[in-house]
Each structure stands twice: as structure tokens, then as C-alpha cells.
Structure 1
């Protein structure tokens, strides 16, 4: 990729739906309630010492920033439906992969777009070190992953894709 080239913003249908839902909630519910609070607080006199007004304006800026980010994600998103994956025998975008580390601990991750990643739920962004190491792996393959704590080896035990 050349200088300034943008990486595609891959996203699953579920991830895009979650982002759309958050956008609609913020834009259609949270923001209107907040602007109503700000208008009410502004009518209460001196704005410089009005906690409701100051808090409301700060919160509104946060919501507007988040709406801008979500809007950009939706506009740039390249939808990839893992249910339509042609090669299901190797790790690709959208795969749910069962791994076993060198200490025989099992870990299950689903490879998703960076904008929908949520490590606590097992959704790992496709540019994360573990994901980059696993792309193309098949069941039985062992891959080394460079982590801040050192190198860790994982064996691919199972690869699943959603049904079409």
C-alpha cells in the first residue's frame, strides 16, 4: 500500500447493524433529549455558573463527535458477509476460530472489522496481531503471535463460519 493509501474498512453485517443501531439511538433519542435539557437550562439565567447547561453542552459535543465517527464508519464500510465465504477450510475475515495455546488453554475468537472489535466478547479486529498471524491458517496449523509479553504459539483446532 502506498503512502496515504487507505485500508478498506471491512465490517460484518452484524457489526454494521450494531453501528447503525447506536447511530439511530444517539441521533433519534439521546441528542433530542439533550438539546431539550440545554434549552431548559439556558432559560435559567447565568450560563457561566449553570451546571446543567455546561454539562449538557459538553455531553452534546461528545455525542456529536460519536455521531461523526459512526457516520464515517457507515460511509466507508465495505460489507463482507462471512456466511458467503467460499473457502471455509482456512481462517479468513468473519471466521470464528478455536485456538489452543502452548499452555493448553482454549480461546475462541471471531475475526471482525476493526470498528466492531470487542475483545471482551471475543470479537477481534482483523488487523490485530493475533488475527494477522492466523489469516490463511488451517485446522492443525500452529502460528506464533508476537504479544507485548512475548511470543505465544497457538494451534488452530476449529474454524467455523456462519451459515448462509
Structure 2
């Protein structure tokens, strides 16, 4: 049996939108591009044709990946969660003990992670260190940039 992929309802919606765009817009467009490039003659030296075929392969691979991910999705709605311990879906307000800098991260599924939007993967070192912890606790995490210590200030389920 395949391993379940945890995901928020928003993450599931984003993947479904991407899948629809790939199937209804990008794949038909690349098929047209291949047809146009094929009409230009000798395929062995046709860079447009080869580029379009490569793009088609990438699109088909992404479609397959998204379909498999969605089929294994375990959708967890953070707004229905509560408690004093950090779990998947929680937004966690942390303070870097060394710099006094505060940051809020949401713990999400691997396909939803986006550090620019402060969404970290449940499988990341920081998320793994936070799961099961409570407000007031300190966690020490070895990050690529070196060790960091965070104090948990708040846990938000919304």
C-alpha cells in the first residue's frame, strides 16, 4: 500500500488547479507546438520539435506525479484541529533565541512547502523538531546554515 501524503485543503486545491491547467492548457498547447514543428521538415535537426517533445515529457511527468499525489492525499483541515501540542497543519510562532527574531511557520505536506510563504514541510528538520512540542518549550535544530534554537511562543490552528 502506498504511503499517505498529508496535505491541507488549500494544498489539495492548488494541486487540482495545477493539474487542470496542465491538462487543459499546457498539454494541448505543446501538442500543437509539436505539430507545427513537425511541419518544418527534417526532425533530426529541428530544435523546436525536440524542445517541444521535451516540454511534453516534463508536463506528462508532472501530471502523473500530481495524480499519484492526489490519489494518496490525506487531507487534514487545520481549522478542525486544536490542542496544546504542535501537529500537522499548525501555524507556529517561534522566536530565534540567538537573534530575538520572531517568525511564524505553518507545517504542511511536502508538496505544499514554500519557504517564501513560511510553509515548511512536515518532513523538514524544523517541523520534525516541533511536532509534539508545546508553548514555552525550546527546540534546538541543526539547519543547513548551522544550529538554531527556537522558543515556541504560540500555536495557532486556523
Residue 117 (1) aligns with residue 131 (2): no
Are residues 1:94 and 2:89 paired?
A: yes
Say if 2:113 and 2:121, in contact at 8 Å, map to a contact too.
Answer: yes
Counterpart of 1:140 in 2: which secondary structure?
Answer: coil
Match of 1:30 in 2: 26
| Residue 54 in structure 1 maps to residue 47 in structure 2 | no
Moved over 3 A (4+): none
> Does 1:73 pair with 2:57?
no
List alignment gaps of at least 5 residues for structure 1: none
Structure 2: state its 5+ residue gaps.
none
Matched, 1:82 2:78: yes
Instruction: Give the Å deviation of 1:6.
Output: 5.6
State the shift of 1:48 in Å: 1.2
Report the TM-score, using the length of structure 2 for normalisation: 0.93
- Distance apart, 1:146 and its partner CA: 1.8
Instruction: Tell me the number of residue pairs that the alignment of Structure 1 and Structure 2 aligns.
Output: 157
1:115 match: secondary structure: coil
Q: How far apart, CA to CA, are the structure 2 residues paired with 1:154 and 1:86? A: 22
TM-score w.r.t. the length of structure 1 is 0.90
SS of residue paired to 2:48: helix
Alpha-carbon separation, structure 2, partners of 1:67 and 1:146: 35
- 1:127-159 Cα offsets, whole Å, 9 max, x none, are 111011111222211111122343211001111
Residues 5-24 of structure 1 show CA distances to partners (whole Å, capped at 9, x for unaligned) of 86431000000100111111
Partners in 2 of 1:155 and 1:51 — Cα distance?
A: 55
